Structure formats: C-alpha cells, structure tokens
C-alpha cells in the first residue's frame, strides 16, 4: 500500500510539470505584468477621431460627395469630412450646412473641392473651399468665415452676410454679389477690397467692374438660379440691365411695350389704368387725375403728368379754350371745364393711349 501511494504521488508531479511546459521545455503561459499590454498587436491603440464638419443634402438629383477620387451619389443627406468634394450635375441642387450657422446652396453644373475647417484671426471658425465651376449662394453668420479659392488666384472671404459667387469656366469671369454685412475679395497683385452692397465682375486678367447698388434680393437670385446660377444671373442682367462682362457684352433684350390710357373701359364702367385714381367736384366742373408712379415710356423716361399735358395740349380738341389744364405736380393733373360742362372726362381720357414699357 505504501509503495503504491508513493508511485501515485510521483506520477502526479510529472503530469503537473508537463502541463506547464511545451515539448521544448518552454513555458506555455506566462501571466502579464501590470506594465504589459494585452491589446491586439494589430491595433495601434489610437481611436478613430474623424468627425463630420458639415452636412450636404440632395435637393434634386444628381448630387455627389466624398473624396475627390471617389465621389458617391447623395440620395438624401451625407456627412462631410475634411477635404471632401461636392459635384452637382444633371438637374441637381444641393444644400450645405455647417455649424455657425453657415448655409449654402450649390446649383446645377457646380463643383467645390477641398472643403476643410479651421480657425481664422480671433479664433473664429473658418470654412475653406475651392469653387471650381458653377455657383453658390447663402448666408454666413457673424463671427463665422467662409473662404472661397477661385480660378486665377482670386480669393473671397465672406464674414457675416448674404451673398452669391459664380465662376463661369467658359468666359473665365467670376461674379460676386453681396447684400449686407461684410465680404472682401483679393485679386493677385492687388490689396484686399471690401465689397459694398453691389455686384463685381472679375475677369481672368484681374480687371474688375462694379454695379451699384445691387438691384435684386437674395431671394430673387435664388429663384432665378434654381436650375443654373450662370443662366439665372444672365436673366437678372437682362431684367435689370446690368452690363454683361467682356469686351463684347451680350445686349439685353429690347423691352416690350404696350399701349395704355389713363383709364380703360370694362363693360359699362371705367377703371384706372395709367391713372391710379381720380376725383371730381360735386358740380362736375373740376377733375383731378393722379398718375400711377413707376411707369416708363418706350424711350425709358418716366410717365408723368407732363406727358399727359403735352399730349393733350397738342391733340385734344377741348384743350383749345373749352377745358383748362393745369399741372399740380409730377403725378397730378387738373382739368377745369370752362365751356364744356357735362363732358364725359373718363371717356375722353380713354381715347388717348400712350406707349409704355410692359
């Protein structure tokens, strides 16, 4: 019994030794010390710190975003990372949003590259991007800065304002419009220029042409530019007679004109037309016609009470002594029926049309 017990003890010791060693006598497992790491050696221990700097929304197809070498279609929205690019083609339209707030619209046939975030003077948040082609509009809150790098070394700094910027690749012209707040631009070889509430065209050679004041609102621009910023700006140039850039500017279309009288007949009644209103004394001798303001003749001159006076004194039969005509002011004319009591003045005034701009 005693020898059997000794044998079992020795066998147990041998088995215990085998469990702690491999076939070469090396230790199979060694518990780590407090200073040693148990992490996967393929993990460098650094966390993924990439964060979205903004968001792009696809308002209409086709909008693509992502790294310049790998753009993907944006079906609804996509977070933007540093150095991302955005391209709008087809009938597309995109909205960009950044903290601040900073909100932009990017129109058809437009492309921006290298969108990055940083800090400008005074530690103000700053968004930097390169507008390659097309146009954008939007709003930058005070304290926020949007810097746009454009072709031919032009730089635009938007600091708290509503604005638009267009770059036409075909003509090489950059057009900037500022509605309020602060916007500055730099042309190579020139000092920084603060833009007033106006439009500036910057040619490829750095030549600048200004149009002041800006004759439309940001909302009007965005409505016209809905499909294309370049086409929309061309339409606004025609509407507001803003010269086209270049040595051979495209002429605006000839304005359409119509024939209108002071009053017009509708059925058995007379209603105001070029006259906004009229008054007559209870006895029917004295008439006052108030001319509608903001109407222009075919030559571009304003339509006023003098226009009516000159026409009637030359062509109206009753102006030869029967009716006295007096100019009260630029938009009021008085008639006194000296020898023409009972004359139907509304019918008479409807007989003299004037060619005015539509």
Q: Specify the CATH number for the domain of residue 341.
A: 3.40.190.10
Asked whether residue 6 is assigned to any structural domain, the reply reads no
Whether residue 266 sits in one domain with residue 138:
no
Strands 286-291 and 193-194: unpaired
Q: Which of 43-57, 62-76, 131-145, 185-199 has the lowest mean pLDDT?
A: 43-57
User: Where a domain ends, among 213, 240, 267?
Assistant: 240
- Give the end-to-end CA distance of the chain in Å, rounded to a whole number: 127
Whether residue 180 sits in one domain with residue 262:
no
Q: What is the DSSP string of 68-131?
A: TTS-EE-SSEEEE-TTEEEEE-TT-EEEEEETTTEEEEE-TTEEEEEEEEEE-GGG-EEEEEEE
Residue 119 binned pLDDT confidence (cut-offs 50, 70, 90): low
Expressed as residue numbers, the domain containing 318 is 257-357
* 57: CB partners within 8 A, 6+ apart: 74, 76, 77, 94, 95, 96, 97
Whether the bond between 177 and the residue before it is cis, its omega within 30 degrees of 0, is no
Asked whether residue 9 is assigned to any structural domain, the reply reads no
Side-chain half-sphere of 80: how many Cα atoms within 13 Å? Answer: 30
Whether the bond between 151 and the residue before it is cis, its omega within 30 degrees of 0, is no
Asked whether residue 26 is assigned to any structural domain, the reply reads no
Whether residue 217 sits in one domain with residue 150:
yes
Q: Measuring CA to CA, which residue among 122, 67, 65 is closest to residue 96?
A: 65
Spatial contact of 106 and 94, defined as CB atoms under 8 Å apart: yes
Tokens of 132: 């390659």
* 26: CB partners within 8 A, 6+ apart: none
Asked whether residue 12 is assigned to any structural domain, the reply reads no
pLDDT of residue 92: 92
Residue 117 binned pLDDT confidence (cut-offs 50, 70, 90): confident
Spatial contact of 26 and 55, defined as CB atoms under 8 Å apart: no
**Which pTM value belongs to this model?**
0.56
CA 321 to chain centre: 59
Asked whether residue 176 is assigned to any structural domain, the reply reads yes
Spatial contact of 277 and 270, defined as CB atoms under 8 Å apart: no
Sign of CA dihedral 308, 313, 317, 319: positive
Main-chain dihedrals φ then ψ at residue 85, nearest 5 degrees: -125, 160
Asked if pLDDT for residue 323 goes beyond 90, the answer is yes
Exposure b/e, 90-115, CB count within 10 A at least 16 = b: eebbbbbbbebebbbbbbbbbbbbeb
Whether residue 145 sits in one domain with residue 234:
yes
Asked whether residue 261 is assigned to any structural domain, the reply reads yes
Side-chain half-sphere of 236: how many Cα atoms within 13 Å? Answer: 23
Give the gyration radius of the chain's Cα atoms. 39
Asked if pLDDT for residue 25 goes beyond 90, the answer is no
Whether residue 209 sits in one domain with residue 83:
yes
User: Where a domain ends, among 183, 213, 240?
Assistant: 240
**Residue matched to tokens 């051979």:** 248
Q: What is the pLDDT of residues 160-215, one digit of tens each?
A: 889 999 999 888 899 999 998 889 999 988 889 988 888 999 998 888 999 888 99
Please give the average per-residue pLDDT across 319-334, as a whole number.
94
Whether residue 68 sits in one domain with residue 158:
yes
CA 181 to chain centre: 15
CB atoms within 10 A of CB 241: 12
Strands 145-149 and 125-140: parallel
Asked if pLDDT for residue 42 goes beyond 50, the answer is no
Whether residue 318 sits in one domain with residue 235:
no
Whether residue 277 sits in one domain with residue 227:
no
Asked whether residue 11 is assigned to any structural domain, the reply reads no
Number of domains in the chain: 2
Whether residue 213 sits in one domain with residue 271:
no
Number of H helices, E strands in the chain: 5, 25
Spatial contact of 305 and 328, defined as CB atoms under 8 Å apart: yes
What does the angle CA 225 – CA 227 – CA 233 come to, to the nearest 5 degrees? 30
Whether the bond between 69 and the residue before it is cis, its omega within 30 degrees of 0, is no
Q: What is the pLDDT of residues 253-266, one digit of tens each?
A: 555 889 999 999 99
Whether residue 287 sits in one domain with residue 235:
no
Rounded distance, CA 107 to CA 113, Å?
15
Rounded distance, CA 145 to CA 194, Å?
14
Whether residue 266 sits in one domain with residue 236:
no
pLDDT of residue 353: 95
Asked whether residue 319 is assigned to any structural domain, the reply reads yes
CA 85 to chain centre: 19
Whether residue 177 sits in one domain with residue 285:
no
Rounded distance, CA 311 to CA 330, Å?
15
Asked if pLDDT for residue 82 goes beyond 70, the answer is yes
Q: Specify the CATH number for the domain of residue 124.
A: 2.60.120.1440
């Amino acid at each position: 019994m005693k020898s059997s017990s000794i044998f079992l003890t020795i066998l147990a010791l041998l088995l215990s030794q085998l469990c702690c060693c491999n076939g070469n006598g090396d230790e199979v497992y060694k518990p780590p010390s407090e200073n040693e790491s148990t992490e996967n050696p393929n993990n460098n221990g650094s966390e993924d710190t990439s964060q979205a700097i903004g968001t792009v929304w696809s308002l209409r197809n086709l909008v693509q975003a992502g790294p310049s070498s790998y753009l993907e279609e944006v079906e609804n929205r996509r977070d933007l990372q540093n150095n991302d690019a955005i391209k709008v083609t087809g009938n597309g339209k995109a909205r960009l949003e950044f903290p601040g707030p900073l909100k932009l619209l990017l129109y058809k046939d437009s492309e921006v590259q290298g969108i990055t975030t940083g800090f400008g003077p005074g530690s103000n948040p700053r968004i930097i991007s390169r507008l390659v082609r097309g146009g954008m509009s939007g709003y930058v809150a005070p304290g926020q800065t949007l810097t746009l790098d454009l072709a031919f070394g032009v730089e635009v700094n938007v600091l708290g304002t509503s604005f638009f910027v267009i770059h036409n690749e075909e003509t090489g012209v950059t057009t900037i419009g500022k509605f309020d707040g602060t916007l500055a631009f730099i042309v190579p070889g020139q000092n920084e220029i603060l833009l007033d509430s106006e439009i500036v065209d910057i040619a490829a050679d750095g030549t600048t042409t200004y149009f002041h004041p800006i004759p439309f609102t940001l909302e009007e621009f965005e409505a016209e530019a809905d499909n294309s910023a370049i086409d929309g700006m061309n339409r606004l140039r025609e509407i507001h007679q803003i010269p086209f850039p270049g040595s051979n500017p495209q002429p605006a279309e000839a304005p359409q004109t119509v024939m209108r009288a002071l009053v017009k007949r509708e059925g058995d009644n007379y209603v105001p037309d070029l006259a906004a209103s009229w008054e007559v004394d209870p006895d029917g001798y004295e008439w006052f016609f108030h001319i509608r303001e903001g109407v222009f003749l075919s030559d571009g001159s304003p339509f006023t009470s003098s226009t009516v006076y000159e026409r009637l004194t030359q062509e109206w039969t009753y102006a030869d002594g029967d009716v006295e005509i007096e100019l009260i002011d630029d938009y009021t004319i008085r008639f006194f029926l000296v020898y023409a009591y009972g004359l139907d003045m509304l019918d008479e005034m409807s007989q003299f049309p004037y060619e005015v701009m539509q």
